[in-house]
Amino acid sequence: MASEFDAAPSIAFRPLQTGARAQIARLFIALEQWLEAERDQLALWLPIGLGAGIAAWFLLPTPLAWGGAAIAMAAIMVFAGLFGGGSRAGHAIACFALAMLIGLAIIWIKAEWVAAPRLEHVGIARFSGKVEAIEPLPARGLIRLRIAPDPSFGLPPHVRVNADAKTLPAYIPAGSRIDLRARLLPPMGPPVPGGYDYARVAWFQGIGAIGKTLDTPVLHLGEAGGFWAWLANIRVRLSAHIESQIAGAGEGGVAASFVTGDQGAIPESDNDALRQAGLAHLLSVSGLHVSAVVGGVMLLSLRLLALSPRLALHAPLPLIAAGAGALAGIGYTLFSGAEVPTVRSCIAALLVLIGVAMGREAMTLRLVAAGALIVLLFWPEALAGPSFQLSFAAVASLIALHEHPRMAAFVAKRDEPLLWRLGREGASLLVSGLVIELALAPIALFHFHKSGLYGAVANIVAIPLSTFVIMPLEALALLLDVAGLGAPVWWLTGKALSLLLWIAHVVGDAPGAVAALPSMPWGAFALMVIGGLWIALWRTRVRRLGAIPLAIGALWSILTPPPDILVTGDGRHVAIRTGDGRIALLRPKAGDYVRDVLGEASGVKGEALAFESLGNARCGDDMCAVDVAGGGRTWRLLATRSPYLIDIAIMNRACAEADIAISDRRLPRSCHPRWLKLDKPALARSGGVAIRLGSASVDSVADYIGQHPWAAMVGVRPRHPTASSFPSTRQSTDTARQN
């Protein structure tokens, strides 16, 4: 019987066809044969195409570029469909281009759909509204509230404020009303290029302002309204109960995070240790937790139902137990806040249960692809966040590893002595941990500028400890608390959690435990992602070609020089990277957040210095001048650091002698530095900047964000008389974008 490829390549064998056309024909035949061998893997690239379209929208800067990309995708799809000759290659290219087009359309439409008024300037307002959600942060002494202000105040429909925990009760029911005075400001974008873009997150959450209360709020306690508020109140109460049962702030906070996903009570020192040890994934309710809940409920249901001989003989107990596990997984997902990793894990668990019910192999890459497809269709903005990337990368790399024939043969069950079996399983855990660490390292370095190096070793102990000791003990303790008998089990849980935190601190504090990297170029990250996906998703030898973009991206990241100078968007904070790999700050008393942001963006882990400690700096109360070496020459940097006016003659002379002048206020027009003038008006247009002196290049936050909707601060004018001091804002999203 003729194969489906006979028609397409037959032209290649005409006697007179030689040269380039013959080479193209042979390449086409090889491509068809390769895709035929990989036909079972082609469906896995549909969510990748969807994600590529979403990523294109985030990366391209302007609506014109988004439209051009959409036209290009449509053209590729049509071209492949018309000229592919009905081949598998043509179909694959057309489907991938269609998936990209759908992804770009979905994120573009959703970004417009969720558009809501946002504040434009910092201001103070007194207002009242309904508490929509509460997030206690006892480790920081704060309570974070999401409030829906009354429409009469003319504020955005949703604001997020932090209140001093001492001024409010520990438990506030969602649905209560509150009167408060707060300093509000627009959701903040990245302070420097490569920093965390909260403005993007707030845009998709509908939050139009953030701030902090200025006095004691007046709270009118009331019953929660609606199912979600009721569920949120139960979650808050349960977190508080768990924290009160375990001695130690760190142990109690981690215990609460295992059950409810609430991490607000974990001290920052323990958080840092868990991140540096590669154990932070244990805190986020995701695959580990959902799997434990579903598996535990299934096992318990199966054992209890099997106690009845009639049911054991006549009822499909595995299916009934799978149904109970599915209901438990859905309920736990809703209870823990339905964050993207939890939703993804719940979808994966449900697909596994369906596969088990159908008698098919459940843990496959098709399962991961289906979960990714569902998440991206409903929450396309999740693609840009580290949570989605880390969770899917970990699961996909683990399954791809265990689907490899050699690994599958190594972990296959067999008759052997107990010590050999334990050693083989331990080696399997170690290899799995190493592969996951390699898969997650580029993502962690891209988003957080640092990555733990010993996570594979720490997880060998931490994951079994969490799954088979801590979580069952917590479940048993909560069950016994119904009768008031949980105290002894809580004591055991606390000891197990102390061991987990001890492991985190020992591993996190070990020499060389953390690799730091300055801001990674988008192109380098994209190449590493493409290379990793290519290796994970294909099955033939062609998968080895993925090592090429992976290596190029890694080399590009390593060779990218760190910024020599960083300036935050408000112009108040300036950091210089010193020759010994540390940073010096214009304002050494800057808060921990600013110091961490500048240190991470510089790829520096040590304590920051002050400008005054540099031998080539001359600083006074109002101004600093520093000589910075870079690009084979010395650059003079001038920065103001007080609100007081400086004599115009002195200022002009200092500017003329400087290559770069930086200020958090408007510099006089007569100030003419030799290269860059970064004062308040300039930084308002550019946002924070990163300067590399070797290449005389400047990267800005404005270039990073482009014309995405959250770049424009949009809001409404307050109408309440008591809010007259509040900043005026534009009337609508469309008006703001036209301006």
Q: What is the 3-state secondary structure (H, E, C) of 50-64?
A: HHHHHHHHHHCCCHH
Q: For position 728, what pLDDT does the model report?
A: 35
Is the residue at 706 inside a domain?
no
Residues 203 and 266 both lie in one domain: no
Which tokens is 94 given?
Answer: 């057309």
Is the residue at 149 inside a domain?
yes
Residues 174 and 143 both lie in one domain: yes
Residues 538 and 622 both lie in one domain: no
Is the residue at 717 inside a domain?
no
Which tokens is 487 given?
Answer: 């105290």
Residues 145 and 129 both lie in one domain: yes
Is the residue at 253 inside a domain?
yes
Residue 591: count of CB within 10 angstroms of its CB: 10
Is the residue at 620 inside a domain?
yes
Spatial separation of the C-alpha atoms in residues 620 and 650, rounded to whole Å = 13
Residues 230 and 259 both lie in one domain: no
CB 513 within 8 A of CB 454: yes
Is the residue at 707 inside a domain?
no
Counted domains in the chain: 6
Residue of 456, 460, 468 lying closest to 423 (CA atoms): 460
Spatial separation of the C-alpha atoms in residues 460 and 431, rounded to whole Å = 10
User: With helix as H, strand as E and coil as C, how does 88-110 read?
Assistant: HHHHHHHHHHHHHHHHHHHHHHH
Residue of 572, 621, 616 lying closest to 598 (CA atoms): 572
Q: For position 407, what pLDDT does the model report?
A: 86
Which pTM was predicted?
A: 0.84
Residue of 17, 13, 199, 9 lying closest to 111 (CA atoms): 199
Domain edge (last residue) among 237, 256, 277:
237
The pLDDT averaged over each successive group of 10 residues in the chain (739 residues) is 40 48 72 85 93 96 94 91 74 92 96 90 90 83 91 91 86 83 91 90 93 88 66 80 85 86 82 82 70 82 84 81 86 75 76 72 78 90 88 85 85 81 82 85 87 78 85 89 89 92 88 79 94 93 93 93 92 89 86 85 82 87 91 91 87 93 92 93 91 90 90 43 35 34
Residues 476 and 533 both lie in one domain: no
Residues 355 and 287 both lie in one domain: yes
Instruction: Kindly calculate the radius of gyration of the chain based on its CA atoms and give it in whole angstroms.
Output: 29
Residue of 279, 287, 525, 285 lying closest to 398 (CA atoms): 287
Owning domain of residue 10: 1-28
Q: Tell me which DSSP letter residue 623 carries.
A: E
Residues 136 and 257 both lie in one domain: no
Burial zone of 670 (CB within 10 Å; 0-12 exposed, 13-18 middle, 19+ buried):
exposed
CATH, residue 175: 2.40.50.140
Is the residue at 725 inside a domain?
no
CA distances from 75 to 56, 71, 78, 190, 290 (A): 16, 6, 5, 35, 42
Phi/psi at 79 (5° precision): -60, -45
Domain edge (last residue) among 512, 544, 576:
512
CB 460 within 8 A of CB 430: yes
Which tokens is 214 given?
Answer: 């200025």
Which tokens is 70 given?
Answer: 């959409």
CB 709 within 8 A of CB 733: yes
Is the residue at 604 inside a domain?
yes
Residues 402 and 263 both lie in one domain: yes
Q: For position 21, what pLDDT does the model report?
A: 66
Give pLDDT tens digits for 496-505.
999 999 998 9
Spatial separation of the C-alpha atoms in residues 343 and 349, rounded to whole Å = 10
Residues 21 and 43 both lie in one domain: no
Residues 156 and 233 both lie in one domain: yes
Q: Tell me which DSSP letter residue 589 carries.
A: T
Give the SS3 label for residue 720. Answer: coil
Domain edge (last residue) among 79, 111, 143:
111
Q: For position 222, what pLDDT does the model report?
A: 67
Q: Write out the E strands in 159-217.
A: 159-164, 177-185, 209-213
Residues 386 and 455 both lie in one domain: yes
Q: Kindly give the pairing relationship between strand 177-185 and strand 209-213.
A: antiparallel
Q: Kindly give the pairing relationship between strand 159-164 and strand 209-213.
A: parallel
Rounded-to-10 torsion of CA 144, 147, 149, 155 = 60
Rounded-to-10 torsion of CA 418, 423, 426, 431 = -140
| Dihedral (CA of 426, 430, 436, 440) sign | positive
